[in-house]
Structure 1
Amino acid sequence: MSAAGPRRTGRRLATVLAALALAAAGTLTAHATPAQAAACNGYVALTFDDGPSGNTPALLNALRQNGLRATMFNEGRYAAANPAQVRAQVAAGMWVGNHSYTHPHLTQLTQAQIDAEISRTQQAVAAAGGGTPKLFRPPYGETNATVRAVAARYGLTQIIWDVDSQDWNGASTDAIVQAAGRLTNGQIILMHDWAANTLAAIPRIAQGLAARGLCAGAISPQTGRAVAP
């Protein structure tokens, strides 16, 4: 064999080894980020009302660990009191919406009072570093033509929900997981920042969505439906 033979053989061997190493690295990367690697056959929107609060850090941590993003419908008074948590919501990849300032029954208020509830929350969220909300959820899901008109004046799209987790009503972790299991493409689920059973349900919600090829998406201000982020 000529001297060139061993060199060619050595180069081929090095090339094969390099290819194997790259393949192994790719395999490791894929296994390390299953949420990113999984195909999304549809999108649903996870929403959390009534924050931010002392519970927000644990909620954000659970969402991040499970590869989930969500829309946080914050109350203006809590955004003003907990600006660091509003910034943490944004830093964790969440979207911030308007849930009124004091969580009143808006349909029982005057137009001026409704305006104050919505406008003060827009200002509080923006001042806390959450950007200017584009989405508005009326407390208790209660709305009328006046509420919708005032929200529209501030460029807000009203968002209700398709599935109610009932976490506000003491629903168990199992019941919350089952509620999320009813979500279909484009739909929105109501949950709350403060509910301990909801926090416990997040890993199983993530598993259930992944098993059905659904991913956690954003809410489109144009359609009010869940879409790709």
Structure 2
Amino acid sequence: MRVWTVPLAMMLGFGGAAVPPVDPPIDPARLVRELTAIQPEWPEPERPVPPPARDVDCAKAKCVALTFDDGPGEHTGDLLDTLAEHRARATFFVVGGVVARGGGGDLRRMVAEGHELGNHSWSHAQLTALSRSGIAAELDRTQKIVKRETGVRMVFMRPPYGATDGRVAEASRSRGLSQILWNVDTMDWRDRNSGVVTRRVAAAAPGSIVLLHDIHRSTVDAVPEVLKDLAAEGYTFVTLSELYGRELTPGKRYMKR
């Protein structure tokens, strides 16, 4: 598991790939103004009804939590089809701005099929590079749009790039959000190869949290084999709430069960 400090995280681009510095540089004050601008009040869609809770005890069963970041994307629907076919559940850390552009249809399907939603910021900004008001806006705006689209108040967040600090922890704590990181990194953003992704997921152990991205076709193509291989080893695919089986501490970082 790697939690990058600010200097390294600032070298990373969306999805984790190394990119040169942004030119022109981001104006934090302008970002805050844009994030906190008054938005029109759209009518709330029909709320999805989640399925009943499952009777799974990850203190005894071999559980693994597959988590998908940066979506929903154009391949998310195919991923949901695969998860449904295998009766597997997962957690999706969604980007608020992506939801706003694409609508909440995929999110409502996730909730209806028993998956869990987490806050992955509004614009995939590196939160440690923002002011306190900027961090707040990134989290609050995403909380708001997901609540409007699904009726769900998210209780987990994942800082983009894994970049966190005391200010991010405090903003998360005050909003009732636990920070969820990971202990199995598939590096699927870098190596767009389904076979490589499948082999890296094989490193999972009972209680693991696996980092994946549903915005990559190669990752979505890897999931059927991932589910097949781990199921053959007796694993159950669970949401984060199922993995821990208890309420987590807001603001605290978690990497595995």
The TM tier, using the shorter chain, reads 0.7 to 0.9
Matched, 1:96 2:122: no
Give the secondary structure class of the aligned counterpart of 2:88.
coil
- Give 1:35-46 correspondences, 5 Å limit: 41-46=61-66
Task: Say which of 83, 87, 103 aligns to 2:108.
Answer: 87
Q: TM-score when scaled to structure 2? A: 0.70
Q: TM-score when scaled to structure 1? A: 0.78
Q: Judging by fraction of residues, say which structure has more helix.
A: 1
**Which amino acid in structure 1 is aligned with residue 121 of structure 2?**
S
Matched, 1:62 2:62: no
Deviates more, 1:209-218 or 1:143-152: 209-218
Give the secondary structure class of the aligned counterpart of 1:128.
helix
Runs of 4+ in 1 over 2 A off after TM superposition: 223-227
**Which amino acid in structure 2 is aligned with residue 156 of structure 1?**
L
CA contact (8 A) 1:73 1:98 kept: yes
Deviates more, 1:97-106 or 1:210-219: 210-219
Task: Say which of 198, 203, 220 aligns to 2:224.
Answer: 203
Task: Say which of 146, 154, 157 aligns to 2:175.
Answer: 154
**Which amino acid in structure 2 is aligned with residue 129 of structure 1?**
T
Q: Could you say which residue in structure 1 is the equivalent of 2:248?
A: 222
Give the secondary structure class of the aligned counterpart of 2:64.
strand
Q: Could you say which residue in structure 2 is the equivalent of 1:180?
A: 201
User: Deviation at 1:193?
Assistant: 1.4
Structure 2: which 5+ runs fail to align?
1-54
Q: What is the CA RMSD across the aligned residues, in angstroms? A: 2.0
Structure 1: which 5+ runs fail to align?
1-35
- Give 1:118-197 correspondences, 5 Å limit: 118-129=139-150, 131-197=152-218
1:203–1:126 Cα change, 3 Å: same
Q: Which of the two has higher C-alpha Rg?
A: 1
Q: Could you say which residue in structure 1 is the equivalent of 2:92?
A: 72
User: Deviation at 1:225?
Assistant: 6.4
User: Deviation at 1:149?
Assistant: 0.7
**Which amino acid in structure 2 is aligned with residue 216 of structure 1?**
F
User: Deviation at 1:164?
Assistant: 0.9
CA contact (8 A) 2:182 2:255 kept: no
Alpha-carbon displacement from aligned partner over 1:127-173 (angstroms, at most 9, x marks no partner)? 11150111100001100010011011110000011011111113411
**Which amino acid in structure 1 is aligned with residue 75 of structure 2?**
N
CA contact (8 A) 1:90 1:130 kept: no
**Which amino acid in structure 1 is aligned with residue 248 of structure 2?**
Q
